[in-house]
Amino acid sequence: MDEILDLSVAQKMLAAQPFSNLLGARLTAFGEGAATLEVDIRDDLRQQHGFLHGGVLGYAADNALTFAAGSVAGARLLTAGFTIDYLRPAAGTLLRAEARVVRAGRTRVVCRCDLSTVDGEGAATLCAVAQGTIAVMAAAEAPNGC
């Protein structure tokens, strides 16, 4: 790993993503093989039945998985792939994606993510789980030498 990342640096990286800003995503924890991403559940992020759209859960899983990998492998990462299983409809006021590294290799980092919704009283309900493989890019592959 060439660079040392901490929560404030990781938050700046998230803020540099226009789509993350559109969703209002926040990185609330980062380090030691884990990351937590949160998104407020708003009406414009719901699907036709009133639940949080599955695409928002997919986004949160993808970013949380990659940030967890970044906490051990640095910033030169790309998602190689991930799977998500939706366990129940996502309803509440907050989506929380908590990811952790399962195994960090030289070129790939495997992570898991639990996605929960939080209601107005603070009770969390697990609504999806995801697993992903994050590719560590060589310096020559990184855009602008990042």
Q: Is the pLDDT reported for residue 1 higher than 50?
A: no
Q: 73-101: per-residue pLDDT in tens? A: 999 999 999 999 999 999 999 999 999 99
DSSP 99-141: EEEEEE-SSEEEEEEEEEEE-TTS-EEEEEEEEEEEEEPPTTT
Say whether 59 sits in a helix, a strand or coil. helix
The answer on pLDDT for 115 being more than 60 is yes
Distance CA 37, CA 9 (A): 14
Task: Dump pLDDT digits (tens) for 44-75.
Answer: 999 999 999 999 999 999 999 999 999 999 99
Cβ-based neighbours of 73, under 8 Å, separated by 6 or more: 1, 104, 109, 134, 136
56 Cβ contact list (under 8 Å, min separation 6): 23, 39, 45, 90, 95
pLDDT at 140: 64
Model pTM? Answer: 0.92
- Please report the pLDDT score of residue 92 as a whole number: 95
- Rounded to the nearest integer, the mean pLDDT of the chain is 94
pLDDT band at 2 (very low <50, low <70, confident <90, very high): low
Answer whether residue 5 shows pLDDT above 80: yes
**99: buried, middle or exposed (CB in 10 Å: 19+, 13-18, 0-12)?**
buried
Where b means 16+ CB within 10 Å and e means fewer, 36-75 reads bbbbebeeebeeeeebbeeebbbbbbbbbbbbbbbbbbbb
Q: Which two tokens stand for residue 88?
A: 């129940």
At 15-47, the pLDDT tens digits run 999 999 999 999 999 999 999 999 999 999 999
